[in-house]
Structure 1
Amino acid sequence: MIDRTVTGHEIILSPHDTIQSRTDIRGVITFANPTMIRISGFSKDALIGSPHSILRHPDMPRGVFYAMWQIIQGGDEFFGFVNNRAKNGDNYWVFTRVAPRKDASGEITGYSSVRMMPKREAVKEWSKVYADIVAVEQAQPRDRQVAAGFDAIQKYLKKRGAKSLTDLVMQYV
């Protein structure tokens, strides 16, 4: 089981930090750039072969990752704000783009992710949005949490008048 202890200390990326990784079709890390290794605090050996969820912060709604998987498995790019957990329990917010990698025949062979420093106003708003969604998820039995979180995201998008998560997220970029 992955340690989910948190310190409450936030690592703020610099504008020059670009975190890059690749995974197989199951989300297992196959490549991590030096910036990912440095910021996450995990060694290259600890990252390669581990599920990308090794970085999942417990304050991130499960429904967000469900939405991401629906988008990327459908062959589209996902854009979002993610609060990651470093090995020591610190957290770091990123603006992320996850895209499918395809072979010559168009079949998805894995995923690439590029993450960078988000605007602070986005972190402020999405921290609150995610806290609300996590509360919705935690009010449900575990087997209903993902669906409840996904439904909460859809309601939030409708409230904001956004057609999709990408449309809303891109307003902050």
Structure 2
Amino acid sequence: MVDRSLTGHEIILDPHDTIQSRTDTRGVIDLANHTMVRISQYSREELIGAPHSIVRHPHMPRSAFYAMWQIIQGGDEFFGFVNNRAKSGDNYWVFVRVAPRTSASGEVTGYSSVRIRPKREAVEEWSKIYADILAVEQKYPREEQVQAGYQAIQKAMRKRGFRHLTDWVMKSV
């Protein structure tokens, strides 16, 4: 069994670090670059064939990933800030772009993801946003958490004057 404890130590990506991965349509990793291996602290063998959620940090609201899946399954690119968990229990923040990969006929065959170091101000802002969303999720039974959190994301987005999640995220870049 994998130790899922947290260390409280944050890995801060170098400005030149670019984490790249590719998944199938279910989110199972089929490509991970050397930077992903180094930062995540998983071996390439541990990453390939694993769900991308292997690096999911427990302080990330499930509804944030639901929002991402809604966007990419609709054929659009997703941009966001994500707190990931390394194998050791350390965490690392990334600014992410996830895009659908398509066949010559236009069928979605998987997703590509590129992650870079975010600005510190964005990490501070999105840490608070995600803590608020996670608090909403935790008020509900597990089967209702994603929908409650997604509604909280929509409400927070509208409160700040944004109609689309991408617009909200990109103002922090």
Structure-2 separation of matches of 1:5 and 1:146? 23
Give the SS at the match of 1:31.
Answer: strand
Alpha-carbon RMSD across the aligned residues, in angstroms, is 0.9
Alignment partners' CA distance in 2, 1:12 and 1:27: 25
AA aligned to 1:155 is K
1:95-134 paired onto structure 2 within 5 Å: 95-134=95-134
Count of matched residue pairs: 173
Identity over the aligned pairs, expressed in percent? 74
Structure 1 residue ranges (4+ consecutive) displaced by more than 4 angstroms after TM superposition: none
Return the alpha-carbon distance in structure 1 between the equivalents of residues 92 and 31 of structure 2: 20
Give runs of aligned pairs for residues 3-152 of structure 1, distance below 5 A. Answer: 3-152=3-152
Residue 3 (structure 1) shift: 4.2
Give, in angstroms, the shift of residue 5 of structure 1.
1.4
Map Cα deviations across residues 130-157 of structure 1 (whole Å, 9 max, x no partner). 0011010011000000001101100110
TM-score normalised over the length of structure 2: 0.98
Which secondary structure state, in structure 2, belongs to the residue aligned with residue 128 of structure 1?
helix
Structure 1 gaps, min length 5: none
Deviation at 1:2, TM superposition (A): 5.6
Separation in structure 2 between the aligned mates of residue 93 and residue 131 of structure 1, nearest angstrom: 14
2:171 is paired with a residue whose SS is helix
Q: Is the 1:4–1:57 Cα contact (8 Å) retained in structure 2?
A: no
* Structure 2: stretches of 5+ with no match in the other structure: none
Cα contact 1:13–1:117 (8 A) shared by 2: yes
Paired with 2:52 and 2:30, the residues of 1 have a C-alpha distance of 10
SS at match of 1:154: helix
Q: CA deviation at 1:4?
A: 2.9
- SS of the aligned residue for 2:170 comes to helix
- Cα deviation for residue 172 of structure 1 reads 1.6
